[in-house]
Structure 1
Amino acid sequence: MNGLLRHYLEMVAAMAAGMVAYAVLYGRGVISREITDEAVMILFMSVPMIAFMRYRGHSWRSAAEMTASMTVPAMAVFVALAPLPDVPDRALAMLTHVAMLLGMLALMLVRRVEYSHAGHH
C-alpha cells in the first residue's frame, strides 16, 4: 500500500474512533439534524486525527489545515441540506461524511509530498 493511501486510511480510522467515542459518551447515534451535534461530532473526530498527525510528525499548521479540510465541506453540506425535510437523515449523514472525506483527500493530493512520506516514527 502506498504511503498516501495508508496515511489516509490511518486518519480515517482515528476519526472513526472519535466518532465511536462521541456516540458512546452522548448516548446517541451519529445521525442528527442539530448543528451543535454535528459540530461536537466533528470535534470528537478531529482530536484523535490531530493527535495521530502530530505523532506522525506533522506540524500544528498541517493538522489545522486537515481539520479545516474536513470541517468546512461537511458543515457546508450540513447547513445546506439539514433544513430540507425531503433529505432523509441517513442521506444527510452520509453526504456530510462523504464531503468530509473528499475534502481531506483533496488536501492530501495538493500536499502529496507531505502525506506520502512514511512518517517520522
Structure 2
Amino acid sequence: MTTTETPNTRKLARFVGHYVEMVVAMLVGMMVLDPLWPAGWTARADVGAVVMATDMTVAMVLWMAVRRHSWPRIAEMAAVMYLPFLALLVPYWFDALSGSALMVAGHVIMFPLMLAAMLWRRSDYWH
C-alpha cells in the first residue's frame, strides 16, 4: 500500500471495479447470447427488451457466481436488471411509451438501480 492509498480507497476501488465488471459482463452477454435467439423474436420492442434484459442478466449472474457472490445478492441484482423493463412494459402496452423509449429508459434506470442495490448491500461489494 502506498502512502496515499488508504484502506477505504482500496475498498472504493474494489466497489467501482465490481460495478465495471458487471457492466462488462452485461455487454458480453448481449453480444454472445443475442445471436442464439430465434430470428424475429426481437422484432417487437417488448419482447426485445425482455430478451436483452435476459442476455445481460444471464452473463452478469454467471460472473457474480464466478466471483463467489452469495445467491441472495445474485438474485437481488438479477431482479434489479429486469425491474425497469417490467415496469415500463405497462406504459408501452398502453401506447404511452414508444419502443425506443422503452429500451432507452430501461437501460437508463437499470444502471442507477444496480448502483443503489450495491450501496444498500455495500458490505457485500467492498471486498
* Compared CA separation, residues 7 and 44, structure 1 to 2 (3 A): same
| SS at 1:2 equivalent | helix
| 1:31-46 equivalent positions in 2, closer than 5 A | 32-34=44-46, 36-46=47-57
Greater gyration radius: 2
2:28 equivalent to 1:17? yes
TM-score, normalising length: structure 2: 0.75
Structure (1/2) with the larger helix percentage:
2
Q: What is the deviation of 1:89?
A: 3.4
Show the counterpart of 2:119: 109
Show the counterpart of 2:102: 92
Show the counterpart of 2:73: 62
2:84 equivalent to 1:80? no
- For structure 2, the 5+ residue unaligned runs are 1-11
TM-score, normalising length: structure 1: 0.78
For the residues of structure 2 that align with 1:9 and 1:31, how far apart are their CA atoms? 30
Q: What is the deviation of 1:13?
A: 0.7
Name the count of aligned residue pairs. Answer: 115
Preserved contact between residue 70 and residue 99 of structure 1 (Cα < 8 Å) = no
| SS at 1:101 equivalent | helix
Preserved contact between residue 25 and residue 56 of structure 2 (Cα < 8 Å) = yes
* Compared CA separation, residues 55 and 22, structure 1 to 2 (3 A): closer
2:61 equivalent to 1:50? yes
* Compared CA separation, residues 38 and 91, structure 1 to 2 (3 A): closer
Q: What is the deviation of 1:103?
A: 1.6
The Cα offsets for residues 66-92 of structure 1, whole Å up to 9 and x where unpaired, read as 101221123212x13423556443332
Which stretch has the larger CA shift, 55-64 or 36-45?
36-45
